[in-house]
């Protein structure tokens, strides 16, 4: 039994009814019964993406979907521009490289968001860019990039607009059709609050046109096969999918539909605001600039005089709240509070109270209650 | 609720205790707690492979593991020899092609096994073959290839010996170290009787030497990253794994360890014999040659005068037993009974009795009880 409260930027806490859905008997993945579940799940997935295009579910992590996006559009030598302001922006470049593309980048200081104008300038000077990749929510730095504004720029260029919404979809505002996104990918275990192991991808007509022109450098992630199988009667996946995870996605998406997507985003925005307010009340420092800070994860500088191990170790071992550390060069310098998925006032109060006690125990002069009061304040009816 | 008895060659019926393991709360995949589960699961996986080498678990289908095997050893132009006697032998060639390798093949008539001598002859005439792929159990035709005998031949050649045991491991005899297999892959949802969505791979030192020489044409399936993360403390996976499926694999492997691998293989051999005997008793015809027929799936010619839809439809809709159809050019010509995973006398009696009733209903002159008697006969204590 594990009762630790997961406040990391994925995997997130999964609701009992979603966990329970996984214990349903396995069915034949090539049957009308499964076809119905697949159809409903992919339709809800498209609704959450806010697209009229079909979505496809891939058994694999969000990285598998990022790879699917690249493996199906890159031919050797193709130039792909990636906005890089954190670990996941870098990952896109590494994937481009693995498939023989030429990775180019706009480097953004970690903790800042890209200025859309930079993308415009880059494309003006490099008309042969085949696609631009943007990580909506850079999980590693707690920064949200302005994908809506970038979309307005991208509509003037031929380059495909590829957006990673792994840690934002279902928690922050994403409108695939509205923003003109050509390829959008996400993962199950973040704001969608399903267990990890499933990824989703959706493609515009423009994207399919490119996909149809090339031979993908992958068999497992060949999107043309996903499209063909998805159009079969009954609809299926090209290779055996994780039936149990499909049940879980189906139920997790049901939960999202019941809550309503707008309401869900508002709930995440509140959680982000409450977390930031509490952090400031405890005299801690946000890592990213506040105006670009994420709706789903807050990165915080580790205060002087305490180590990451002490801080997160105390939180975990004494108060049973699991936070995330920093990644790559931020390791040891920041810690991160994930507030994505099924996060309400209750989980934040628990987390911030545990943080207050941890800081006090580690020798900080904390005014007990300041943090939790800041959380509560955001949720007071008169402030909603 | 779905109470249909799955008698297909994967996914197979999952035991309640394994389904239940999936409903455990999700934990941080980068934690000591998960590291312990991962370590135990991969160790048991190696035990089932019968190898002293490490195993790696990949969130994805068995096809993802086949792709991992190829993407990590192929450089453009490399010649890979595949034994092709069914759909999955073909799949290896398609994967080789996707990664720019030169697929070569030994074509074996569907329903027959490869003669190991043919592989020897091929390698003698083509010393530049980099690897040989063999599908142990060709799920599409119900044929088992002689991987032990092929292993004896392969030890005289430099080419890597790559074996797909997706539908045999845990049900038929596989001894990775004993047979000198360099790369062995399998899937969760067949004889291991875990839910679909996880695959496993293990590599010999010789295989790693090749892997270390090249840049893999995949990021998600970069095995060097799996090795590095597996050696971390605590051990982890390079990308977010399906935590719930790892729980399931852990429990499914526990079940296998409790039963004992030898006993489990014997149980599958009995099930195969019982199925074949029943088929013959009912005057149906095995599709493959009996002496090479699979221990885990039996392919049967659809008798004249009845369609696949009538036969399997009646089995499914009236008797709630799900059988598999044929694949590719065997579609409509054969049906298949999977007897892999948690299959005992009970499931076979149910299946064969339903088959008797179905055949009678479809107009065949069936001596009711002949089939089930043949099943029971195999399980009589004096015949064990």
3-state class (DSSP) for residue A340 = coil
The whole-chain average pLDDT of chain B stands at: 97
Residue B220 with chain A: CB contacts under 8 Å:
60-61, 63-64, 67, 221
CATH no., domain A5-9+260-383:
3.90.1150.10
Mean pLDDT of B220-237: 97
User: What integer is the mean pLDDT of A359-369?
Assistant: 95
Sorting pLDDT into bands at 50, 70 and 90, what band is A1? very low
Q: For residue B3, what pLDDT is reported?
A: 82
Average pLDDT (A56-83) is 98
Q: Where exactly does CATH 3.40.640.10 map onto chain B? A: 16-258
Q: B29–A95: do the CB atoms touch at under 8 Å? A: no
Average pLDDT value for residue range B50-72: 98
> CATH assignment of A17-258, given 2.40.160.10, 1.25.40.10, 3.40.640.10, 3.20.20.60?
3.40.640.10
Give me the pLDDT at residue B31, please: 93
Q: Please name the member of B19, B62, B243 whose beta carbon is closest to the beta carbon of A195.
A: B243
**What is the per-residue pLDDT for A289?**
95
Q: Which of residues 269-328 of B touch A (CB under 8 A)?
A: 322, 324
Is the CB of B98 less than 8 angstroms away from the CB of A322? no
Contacting residues for A253 by C-beta, under 8 A, at least 6 apart: A41, A44, A45, A48, A192, A194
Q: From residue B155, how far is each of A131, A204, A317, B151, B160 by CA, in Å? A: 47, 50, 52, 6, 9
Q: How many CB pairs under 8 A join A and B?
A: 202
A151-209 confidence digits (pLDDT tens): 999 999 999 999 999 999 999 999 999 999 999 999 999 999 999 999 999 999 999 99
Report, as an integer, the average pLDDT of A318-343: 97
Whether the pLDDT of residue A21 is over 90: the answer is: yes
Residue A384 has pLDDT above 90, yes or no: no
Residue B1 has a pLDDT of 43
Q: Which of residues 180-239 of A touch B (CB under 8 A)?
A: 187, 189, 195-198, 215-222, 239
Quickly count: other Cβ atoms within 10 Å of residue A232's Cβ: 12
pLDDT of residue A304: 95
CB-based contact (8 Å) between A24 and chain B?
A: yes
**B384: confidence class by pLDDT, cuts 50, 70, 90:** confident
Find chain A residues with C-beta within 8 A of B241's C-beta.
61, 196-197
Q: Is the pLDDT score of B243 beyond 80?
A: yes
A42 Cβ contact partners less than 8 Å away, ≥ 6 residues apart: A54, A55, A56, A57, A230, A235
CATH 3.90.1150.10 positions along chain B are: 5-9+260-383
CA A169 to chain centre: 6
Q: Which of A195, A233, A159 is nearest to B22 (CA)?
A: A195
Whether the per-residue pLDDT at B380 is higher than 80: the answer is yes
CATH 3.40.640.10 in chain A, residue ranges: 17-258
Compute CA distances B305 → A284, B285, B301, B317, whole Å.
78, 14, 12, 20
Residue A165 in tokens:
């919404």
Is residue A14 over pLDDT 50?
yes
Please tell me which of the candidates A1, A63, A242 has its beta carbon nearest to residue B197.
A242
Interface of B with A in 77-106 (CB under 8 A): 91, 94-95, 98-100
Indicate if the pLDDT at residue B2 is higher than 80: no
**pLDDT more than 70, % of chain B:** 99
pLDDT at B291 exceeding the cut of 50: yes
Q: Is B6 in contact with A26 (Cβ distance < 8 A)?
A: yes
Mean pLDDT of chain A: 97
> What is the least distance, in Å, from the CA of B117 to any CA of chain A?
30
**Topology of domain B16-258, per CATH?**
3.40.640
Asked if A61 and B64 count as a contact pair (C-beta separation under 8 A), the reply is: no
| Residue A280 exposure: Cα atoms within 13 Å on the Cβ side | 11
Which residue of chain A has the CA closest to B100?
A: A217
Return d(Cα B363, Cα B365) in angstroms, integer: 7
Contacts of A25 in chain B (CB under 8 A): 1-4, 13-14, 19
């Amino acid at each position: 039994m594990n009762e630790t409260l997961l406040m990391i930027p994925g995997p997130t806490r999964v609701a009992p009814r979603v966990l329970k859905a996984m214990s349903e008997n396995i069915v034949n993945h090539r049957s009308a019964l499964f076809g119905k579940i697949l159809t409903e799940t992919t339709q809800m997935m498209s609704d959450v993406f806010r697209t009229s295009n079909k979505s496809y579910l891939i058994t694999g992590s969000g990285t598998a979907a990022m790879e699917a996006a690249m493996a199906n559009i890159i031919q050797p030598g193709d130039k792909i521009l990636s906005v890089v302001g954190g670990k996941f922006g870098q990952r896109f470049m590494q994937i481009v490289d693995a498939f023989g593309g030429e990775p180019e980048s706009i480097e953004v200081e970690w903790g800042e968001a890209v200025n859309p104008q930079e993308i415009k300038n880059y494309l003006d000077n490099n008309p042969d860019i085949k696609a631009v990749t943007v990580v909506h929510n850079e999980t590693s730095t707690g920064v949200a990039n302005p994908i809506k504004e970038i979309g307005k720029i991208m509509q003037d260029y031929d380059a495909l607009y590829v957006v990673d919404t792994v840690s934002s979809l279902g928690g922050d505002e994403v409108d695939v059709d509205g923003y003109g996104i050509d390829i959008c990918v996400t993962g199950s275990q973040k704001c969608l609050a399903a267990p990890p192991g499933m990824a989703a991808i959706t493609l515009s007509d423009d994207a399919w046109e490119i996909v149809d022109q090339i031979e993908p450098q992958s068999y497992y992630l060949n999107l043309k096969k996903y499209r063909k199988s998805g159009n079969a009667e009954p609809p299926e996946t090209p290779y055996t999918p994780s039936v149990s995870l499909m049940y879980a996605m189906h139920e997790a998406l049901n939960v999202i539909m019941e809550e309503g997507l707008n309401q869900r985003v508002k709930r995440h925005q509140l959680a982000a605001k409450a977390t930031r307010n509490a952090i400031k009340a405890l005299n801690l420092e946000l890592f990213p600039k506040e105006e670009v800070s994420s709706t789903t994860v807050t990165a915080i500088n580790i205060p002087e005089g305490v180590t990451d191990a002490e801080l997160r170790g105390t939180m975990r071992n004494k108060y049973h709240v699991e936070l995330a550390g920093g990644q790559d060069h931020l390791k040891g310098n920041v810690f991160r509070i994930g507030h994505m998925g099924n996060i309400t006032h209750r989980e934040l109060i628990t987390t911030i109270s545990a943080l207050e006690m941890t800081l006090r125990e580690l020798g900080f002069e904390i005014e007990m209650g300041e943090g939790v009061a800041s959380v509560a304040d955001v949720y007071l009816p008169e402030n909603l």
